[in-house]
Chains A and B, each alone.
Chain A
């Protein structure tokens, strides 16, 4: 029997998710059954005078309700019903993992999704695919919450009123007659920048049917500057594939490839951080130069960071081109740029010395000319073909939003389909999109949420989430990916493919039919049906088509054309007024993630700001403009400014950001939406409102104080390490001279040897779990924080509670600044429960609610905890989290109303919870336990496998914690340290392994590998790089207060050097 992939026919009120066939029948008996714990009559068993007849009736009713009777029935069609016919591989309570992918603007992210009884609960990267390697980023991790967002659109809406699917498709039928009449002249589509072969096939189908229809692609955060430059430098149809693993020296021109810019994807993060893996003295380590305006994670990892207003970065690139061309040709041309000549000269020399093993990347915010300059640098340095390779990506040339707008203005668009994106919110401000969209007769909007664009559309069609739909796509390396549904659409949404098929007049595709048809075109040619079926099954199973990655194409840059282009696009002079940089935000993306509570609560990796955005300014610029954001008694009071540009303005709170370029303001995008769910409502300001066209930055802004003060919720109030050896950092050279230098940092080195007066319980269980975190590889990207949240059912608490210091994350990223306030170094440190062998929290708990396991875990018995919070007080790492309210049960806006407040946490949000982890109630302390549920599962599996044999040890390095699994930099190593073959046992023997606050004799099971920097000794200020711990150790380093650094000249010309 062929399975049908549809729900049983829905009733008129639209589809609901359901629990059993009885519910869909919705009989009064079922309703009563829902209300009562026991079915009707069950309680009569308790009564006296129970007759035999009654008893039989009750029993037969119970049997019927238990589903025994139903399994005998056969129905003409088979639906996806829960377990009247259980799939043979499904064991209730055990999870199943399916491969799929998340569509992303620069290539799909291959995933494995964990589901429990049909509920997806956790996203993992697909370890088989090189684009993931098992890792994901924050957005992928949080997308499972988006699936269950109770505020997703549930119904077809026509002009603001609820309508139905039937009415919608009736309307499509009518419209189709119009399009057929005018060959689609008035028809237009606006889609997002994801790649899907099936969508492309359907587009061709539509285009064949309605040849004059226009198909526009818009991706506001990926404006295509890089693509344009690539075409100029290398010719059309190519995208560069940067080989970070082959690069010894990397220069980033405002490119946050380690952060949220998604330049190379996770493969780039893994490849780059792989080049920073130092195990012993003598190991090679790559070197990173970063030129950027705002502090990004890439800048934080850099060995030499030059802060520059974004508009001056082109000048730096151009100076480097001239300098390096000088090396290439033997001459020595003069250099003019905002940067110090020495910086340019030495960076250029270093790149030149590492030619063919260097790599220059430019950021998406930078105009095409900077990308062209980067291509020239790569060419001159001989990187092309070595560290820069290309893959072919044929894409039909598609107009963008601007061209569509022009068409609308000319009145040529009668029907506009907006599939994805949210142009009414984030279209370039100069387009006046909202008005334009209003002038189109019929706008049909397909989306996950009813948002700003839906509000101005005639129709809103609910979208199926990517976890609910079949689909296909291309990974960044060009390989073909398959998406399969983990769950039927919760609210009956349509997938993009289904919608396009229906628009094209095809019947709604049955399940994977449309994707399978596309796949047949690619993989089915010349093979018989059986072989094709096998290939298809494997495609679905693996989530991608093996060996389908695009081959590298050899290509050299056309230097002449590049030079002509550069000549035609002069660099902006160091301009008047203040520069605005429109930067993507790590929590909101382009605005689409604003209703995702996990992402809103996770602090920004650099500023540690939660729940909103703020205008970032350098300390010097803030002083010059008379602005401040000051931490007053635990609250960050920040001046609200009015930022005007070209007749438009926004009002934004200011956040003084150490290390930011002077005369520049960064405006994170994606906030300040006006039609969004409860989570995103009223958060931040809308920076898109100032952005014209696709520019990443603009000059000539005016900033005025409004006199108002806003309160911001940041999770870290204090940025200096106060001379404590928390994050330990050393330059590679010193590490090589003295591998033990890490143990000699700060006063802790002078502590007498640790001795204990007590006997400690022996830890002699066969498994001894331990973790090592490589600070040299960790970029600080937050993926682990959300992975942990998703795995361990960690609640969100809301802005108000975060401001009070009650966030619940079990793993956090501490961010320290070292050095001067104007140009500090940035150090990120993941901090989780250290699972101290000699845990101070355990001794003080009066009720034994937190105890030590024989395997070295510091475990919590939530049911035993009474909530004295003493353990938290005595925890030197402050990693314990207390449920001050019933965060899992109450609405965040009525926490203080107690029992009077509404209870409602949406049923769907509960569906996300990991059934193997207790959902904690209020008054209970919680903390990281190394994902003990995974450890236990692995141990049980191994015991089952072992049977009577003594082979009960979990295979070496086979079990991973959530944070370890997700880490794209592979900075976290976890395993059984009693197993000498394990990676963690090996890593802990490295000379730069250290325990934070080890002098307390708490014996942390989590240790760190010190951060190493690899400065170029000839660079200006190189002697300060990586010295923050060493300098402080000897008492003459930068002092406690970041303000104590040397004053910095305010003009960008002098900016950027390390002191």
Chain B
């Protein structure tokens, strides 16, 4: 955890230019961080929290009711048809799984690349990842016609002697997503252990003592434990990193491996990964901006953090925009009339509104982030990230429904309209997601206390000499 080694001999003016902004403002120290972050979980829950948790919990129950209805009645309660056999179900799946990318990206890749600013946001981003993956997993599990037979997808030996079809991208999905979820939850929990120990040590009630006592796994903060911890975390980050890239690539194979015009494209894996990071960061900002305001975390989640995330959104949004354009170009360039029609139909067909929504939300809206003023204005940022959230949903809808509803034979062309069950199911999973996040911020430290402490000047072994040291902060 070394800070940047800028040459000490640099002239003052030059040093001023390259000096990094501090990651924790107002000279907050260890004690403040511990008190502030732990305090969120220790104080009485504010009224708004109760209100928000109960209402999002009720919304989550709506999803439960919808899934119950679906299983009891049949997939027909959704608006699916021939030819649109997948619609909101898989759209929502890809939407949520995409959101689940930012967390691991922040935790693992930014960890390996030593991006210290990640420390303020990685805990909540990872939690968000887990919750999003939980929401995502619901859809493929429940979208099948016979949910009670879903275990056929698991490679367990059966007397039937029928094995899974390892050529099917859906099966790859099962492995990719379950691996990702497992690794993410271990990674997240490992990172939680030192902070759980802090909470344990501060616990006053018996219940908290028990709970944190168990989950802190006997953490004492000894040198030996830290060494093990650092190794384990590094290894897990190493395991997670390829997963960040693989999961959404595999999800994109669901489409890319098929033969449908507009699905069968090699650009999908990188384009999906970029889109996932894009959407994931938007969701991180969506959750953290209110949390920052409500819990007074301005000193920890600084304008620099927000600025960095905006830049990532701008970058990945541009990659996504490039991919959209390239799809059209290749469709034209291929000379394949089916492919050409699919994209012509995407832009002008009955789902034009979704296409326009996708373009304006995903390509046009992030362009504001070219301007520093926009990256500083929280209202603009919030507007843009909400656009991106919607736009990423539109993107999946455009790809899935837009690709399916008019494919090879015009005789089979159709149109998909969602039913109230589609809408309520999706709304319910949003409720589930928010509910889980509210539970998380109430009971667990939403900012990694020990890692933030590690980037404070106090943690700098140079003891105030050199950039990033105590003098710099003044």
Contact = CB atoms under 8 A, between A and B. Distances in A.
A483 interface: no
Interface in B369-422: 404, 406-417
Interface in B216-245: none
Interface of B: 69, 72-77, 79-86, 140, 143-146, 149-150, 152-153, 160, 162-165, 167-171, 174, 254, 257-260, 335-338, 341, 350, 404, 406-417
B410 A997 contact: no
Given A848-B164, A872-B83, A922-B145, A718 B410 contact: yes
A832 to B, nearest CB: 13
Contacts of A805: 81-84, 414-415
Contacts of A922: 74-76, 145-146
A869 B80 CA distance: 10
A724 B162 contact: no
Interface string A868-879: 111011101110
A885 B337 contact: no
Given A746-B337, A867-B144, A874 B260 contact: yes
The 4 closest A-B pairs by CB, nearest first: A867-B145, A923-B145, A634-B415, A884-B76
Contact of A848 (B86, B162, B337, B415): B162
Contact of A923 (B83, B144, B409, B415): B144
A588 to B, nearest CB: 24
Given A866-B149, A925-B145, 11 more contacts: A724-B338, A726-B410, A805-B81, A805-B414, A840-B259, A847-B153, A861-B162, A866-B144, A868-B143, A878-B409, A882-B85
DSSP class of B's interface residues: helix, strand, loop or mixed? Answer: loop
Interface stretch (A768-776, A779-787, A896-904): A896-904
A441 interface: no
A844 B409 contact: no
Contacts of A873: 83, 85-86, 258, 260, 404
A259 interface: no
B169 A844 contact: yes
Contact of A876 (B75, B160, B259, B341): B259
Contacts of A807: 82
Give the bracket for the number of chain A residues in contact with chain B.
Answer: 35 or more
Interface string A838-868: 0010111111100000000000010011111
B49 to A, nearest CB: 36
B18 to A, nearest CB: 53
Interface in A885-900: 885-886, 895-899
10 contacts: A804-B79, A847-B153, A847-B165, A848-B164, A869-B145, A873-B83, A873-B86, A882-B75, A895-B73, A924-B146
A819 to B, nearest CB: 15
Nearest to A715: B411
Contacts of A895: 73-74, 76
B41 to A, nearest CB: 41
Interface in A518-549: none
A1048 to B, nearest CB: 23
Contacts of B414: 634, 717, 805
B411 A831 contact: yes
A801 to B, nearest CB: 7
A876 B415 CA distance: 17
A885 B411 contact: no
B441 to A, nearest CB: 36
A633 B80 CA distance: 14
Contact of B335 (A747, A885, A1000): A747
B170 A846 contact: yes
Contact of B153 (A747, A816, A846): A846
A746 B337 CA distance: 9
A814 interface: yes
A722 B341 CA distance: 9
A633 B412 contact: no
Contacts of A264: none
A897 B74 CA distance: 10
B145 A633 contact: no
B329 to A, nearest CB: 19
A721 interface: yes
A340 interface: no
A896 B165 contact: no
A815 interface: yes
A878 B164 contact: no
A883 interface: yes
Nearest to B149: A866
Contact of B337 (A723, A804, A884, A924): A723
A846 B171 contact: yes
B164 A717 contact: no
Given A840-B258, A866-B145, A923 B74 contact: yes
A814 B412 CA distance: 8
A866 B415 contact: no
A1031 interface: no
Interface string A502-531: 000000000000000000000000000000
Contacts of A921: 146
B73 A898 contact: yes
B145 A883 contact: yes
Contacts of B336: 747
B412 A634 contact: no
Nearest to B259: A840
Which of A635, A831, A844, A861: most chain B CB closer than 10 A?
A844
Contacts of A886: 74
Contact of A878 (B75, B82, B163, B167): B82
Contacts of B74: 883-886, 895, 898, 922-923
A1039 interface: no
A716 interface: yes
A866 B258 contact: no
Nearest to A897: B73
A874 B259 contact: yes
Contacts of A847: 152-153, 162, 164-165
Contacts of B169: 844
A338 to B, nearest CB: 34
B417 A634 contact: yes
B409 A877 contact: yes
A881 interface: yes
A867 to B, nearest CB: 2
A845 B85 contact: no
Nearest to B261: A876
A806 interface: yes
A844 B257 contact: yes
Nearest to A1001: B259
Contacts of B167: 843-844
Contacts of B76: 801, 806, 884-885, 895-896, 922
B80 A884 contact: yes
Contacts of A869: 75, 80, 85-86, 143, 145
Contacts of B160: 864
A720 interface: yes
A925 B143 CA distance: 13
Contacts of A829: 411
A898 B338 contact: no
B169 to A, nearest CB: 7
Contacts of B410: 718-722, 724, 726, 816
